[in-house]
Structure 1
């Protein structure tokens, strides 16, 4: 069985990925700060899939030492770690220069610096094993600079994609790297948005597209493919005035 570690697994996309990977027979390591939610998720999944092994660990991904320790502990507990999904993230943000630096900094530290620590920890394990699958959750917003509240968030997700692409360029023997660019998928991060953006899909549908791309070990995937593959190309290549109207 594949052993998969998911960060930020207590809610939203991470929790739903756990459910869907368990249905595929994966053993799971679920990490997040809110261990009460992780334990509830563990019991829910085991009730449906009793043959799956699930390890739960408390983890604040902005604590570098904890990231390395927990990843190593999980690899030792299972004897191997086949896949790491770097999913934990924040959606906070404000227009630059409007007095909300603290929120932008928190997003940058969680979405990029913490992702770097997770990547380092995962790759140390994969290099030692000579095999592994690293999955980085970026965003459609990473394809271009975004305005206002999305500026910092989009920049961090572009950084995540660049980290992953650098590893793809390196071609570490035995290691596959997948970069996912999710479009609008309903999750706890956006459930307080009063008016859902156009093309928003429910969590289960969106995550199914993510899981399918991960299982196929795609190098890059916009998910769901429709409409985000063609729309992503528009966002990436259109003149900025067009992008401004779209976003």
Structure 2
């Protein structure tokens, strides 16, 4: 399995994206980091270079809902590093309200960020990979994608199910090529996106959760529920439990 030296991470200024950047930097990888908050990206870059002076860290501002800018930034990163070996589609949004309660704008924003913007990122990444004839696309979905979820999670879960199906379709299209696709289904991992999850049972720290994510990414598994315990059995249960039971979990 090739070493993916140059890694692009979206949503890298905080949470899971920031922690992945730290973990990959510790492995000696060169990084292309983008997010809306450039002050935090600049600080992260300084910290990573101080701790790992042998690596390259390139940063750029990016709002993933600016679709044209996604293509520009990905190409600029490729120019910076010479090639992109792995792209991690991580940027996302967790807001939402029950459907039909007058909060369409919040639900729309989540759907656009988690699915349409992810589509733009996948398009931009795979364009680069097709030209290179190599690469590894990683799409961050969620355990909530396993079933339709109730209350505030309805749109979020649907958007994450959509992006998981998108990743599987890309994987199907690229079977037999040097381009690999991984879909991650994180469980409850503490992060800035997971205020509710931080109070939930089974929540693990950002460091522990991201270690599991990075292991699955490095193994280039097609799909991974992370951390595997307890989320593999929970994922099985979610797919098979009656909807009335699943509805109480949202």
Q: TM-score, normalised by structure 2?
A: 0.96
Q: Distance in 2 between matches of 1:45 and 1:199?
A: 30
Match of 2:141 in 1: 138
Superposition deviation, residue 195 in structure 1: 6.6
Match of 2:182 in 1: 178
Q: Distance in 2 between matches of 1:31 and 1:79?
A: 17
Q: Distance in 2 between matches of 1:184 and 1:6?
A: 20
Match of 2:60 in 1: 57
Give 5+ residue unaligned stretches, structure 1.
none
Work out the number of aligned pairs and report it.
Answer: 246
Q: Distance in 1 between matches of 2:197 and 2:115?
A: 27
User: Residues 151-191 of structure 1, C-alpha deviation per residue, up to 9 Å, x if partnerless?
Assistant: 00000000110000001112251100000000000001124
User: Residues 37-94 of structure 1, C-alpha deviation per residue, up to 9 Å, x if partnerless?
Assistant: 0001111111111111000000000001100000011111111100000000000000
Match of 2:212 in 1: 209
Q: Is the 8 A contact 2:225 2:231 kept in 1?
A: yes
Alignment partner of 1:81: what SS?
Answer: coil
Q: Distance in 1 between matches of 2:249 and 2:151?
A: 13
Following TM superposition, the consecutive aligned residue runs of length 4 or more in structure 1 with deviations greater than 2 angstroms are 244-247
User: Residues 182-222 of structure 1, C-alpha deviation per residue, up to 9 Å, x if partnerless?
Assistant: 0000001124x497111000000000000000000010000
Relative to structure 1, the CA distance from residue 206 to residue 194 in structure 2 (aligned partners, 3 Å threshold; closer, same or farther) is closer
Question: Does 194-203 or 112-121 show the bigger shift?
Answer: 194-203
Match of 1:26 in 2: 29
Alignment partner of 1:209: what SS?
Answer: helix
Match of 2:82 in 1: 79
Q: TM-score, normalised by structure 1?
A: 0.97
Q: Distance in 2 between matches of 1:221 and 1:242?
A: 24
Whether 1:165 and 2:168 are equivalent positions in the alignment is: yes
Alignment partner of 2:126: what SS?
Answer: helix
Q: Distance in 2 between matches of 1:224 and 1:110?
A: 24
Match of 1:104 in 2: 107
Relative to structure 1, the CA distance from residue 225 to residue 176 in structure 2 (aligned partners, 3 Å threshold; closer, same or farther) is same
RMSD over aligned Cα atoms = 1.2
